[in-house]
Every structure is written in C-alpha cells, then in structure tokens.
A = this chain, B = another copy of it.
C-alpha cells in the first residue's frame, strides 16, 4: 500500500525532531496536500497536525504523556511556583542533581543556559530540556528505562553517581508525610535518590503543597534529611512552623 509507505517517509523526516510545512510534506512525498491530510487523518495520533504544520513525536517525553497531561491541569501552577523557589538555590558553576518527575522539569527549564552549571539527571524529560542548553554540562545516569517516570536505573549508574560531587540535590517526591517520611511511586528511584542525597552538600526537597500528608509505596528519606523545602505558598503556617523547628528551611517564592 502506498499510504503506509508515505507515512513511513513522513515519520522518518519528522521523528528526528522537527516539523514540516504541509506543502513541503506534499512536495517531499510527491502527492497533493489533500492526500497528505488524508494520510495523517488515517493514522490518528501518530502525528500532530497543527495549523498547516506536521509535527512528529510530540506526544511527549518517554510515553508518559498521558500521565503528564492528566497532571498538568491540576498542579502545574503550584509546581511552577515550587520550582521558582528552588531556582533561587542555583549558583553558576555548581553541580546539581535533578530528580525525575513532572515537577522538576520546571526547575530544569529555569536553569540559565549560560550558567556553567553541571546537571546530573536520570530522566528523559529532564535530559530533553537540559541537553538543549548549550552552556550546560550534562551527566546522564543511564540504565533500564522505566516508562512510569521516564527514568533510568542500573547498578553502574549508581556507581557513577557515587563518584560525582554534588553541590545541590533537587529531590522530588510523590508524598511528604511528617512522621512517616518522604515517598515516591517507583522502587527503582529509591537508591538513586538516596545516593544523590548522600553525595550532596545541600539537599533540597522540591514539591508542591498537594503532596503533604500523602504516602506512596516507596519511602526514601525522612524530612530532616533535607536542608531546604522548596514549595508553593499553599503550605499552611502551622506546618511550616513544625518543619522549621525540625531544621528544614522553607523556601517560598
């Protein structure tokens, strides 16, 4: 079938990451624009079709597009604000660890391109952002891919991480419970987070205020392991006071 062949060619041209004008695509494939339209409509979802352009591979980082889309509307503003707080801890020339998740992307995009910062990460969505900034040095911890958090894990990566001196570790979490501790959804993240915390001079927990009193299956630290809690202003004053008493500095925007 010719249609399938055309779609393959389109895919090839697009999944390196870019977009094509509809008319260019038509010329490339040697058919009319209308046919390209029909081709794209026939395989719904494979390409994104926006206002005269065809874009491929935008569904989003590492197949966790749906999770992300669902979460986006809910907490995006809070996450953004929490990362505003966290970004004040960034210092030119330093080495930072950036955890996986949908919160820390906002922090990654806040790192100035010319800051000479070295970023250590282990998630696709973080890497996609920081690798595009020319002034940054990026260290990626590889391993087996876990689509649930778009992250990688492996013993060798832990070994690599142990050899890296970190000025500030920015750790995210799915749940923050004052007595039970801090938890995330994926067990493979636990060792990485713990190693990053152990190797860092400054430890910062980056969460939006919806995470308080939540518990996820994998505990990885206690609240007092952290020097800073970077949060949005949804945290209530009583809680803030308790945390401050426990030695955690609260960073608000």
Q: List 9 A-B contacts (CB under 8 A).
A: A12-B79, A12-B106, A59-B132, A63-B132, A124-B131, A127-B127, A131-B145, A140-B142, A141-B142
CB closest chain-B residue, reference A5:
B84
Cβ-based interface call for A172 (8 A): no
| Interface status of A245 (Cβ within 8 A of chain B) | no
How many angstroms between the C-alpha atoms of A122 and B118 in the bound complex? 19
Do the beta carbons of A16 and B152 come within 8 Å of each other?
Answer: no
Q: Is A237 among interface residues, defined by CB-CB distance under 8 A?
A: no
A19 contact from B16, B58, B79, B122, Cβ within 8 A: B58
Candidates B76, B80, B128, B134; contact of A17 at CB < 8 Å: B128
Chain A, range 1-49, C-beta contacts under 8 Å to B: 8-9, 11-13, 15-19, 48
Query: With A17-B60, A18-B65, A57-B129 given, can you name 18 additional A-B contacts, CB distance below 8 Å?
Result: A12-B79, A15-B128, A16-B125, A17-B65, A17-B125, A18-B60, A50-B50, A50-B53, A53-B53, A63-B131, A127-B127, A131-B145, A134-B147, A137-B145, A139-B145, A140-B143, A140-B145, A140-B152
Contact B58 A12 (CB under 8 A): no
A57-B129, A150-B131 are known contacts. Are A50 and B124 too (CB-CB below 8 A)?
A: no
Expressed in whole angstroms, the Cα–Cα distance for A31 and B124 within the complex equals: 32
Copies of this protein in the complex:
2
Q: Which residues of B contact A116 (CB under 8 A)?
A: none
Distance in Å: Cβ of A18 to nearest Cβ of chain B: 5
Complex CA–CA separation, A16 to B140 (angstroms)? 18
Stretch at the interface among A155-163, A193-201, A217-225: A155-163
**A102 on the B face (CB < 8 A):** yes
Cβ of A177 under 8 Å from chain B: no
CB of A55 within 8 A of chain B?
yes
B110, A8: Cβ atoms closer than 8 Å: yes
Interfacial chain B residues near A140, Cβ < 8 Å: 140, 142-143, 145, 152
Kindly list the 8 A-B residue pairs having the minimum CB-CB distance in the complex, ordered from nearest. A51-B51, A142-B142, A17-B60, A138-B145, A140-B142, A50-B53, A51-B52, A156-B156
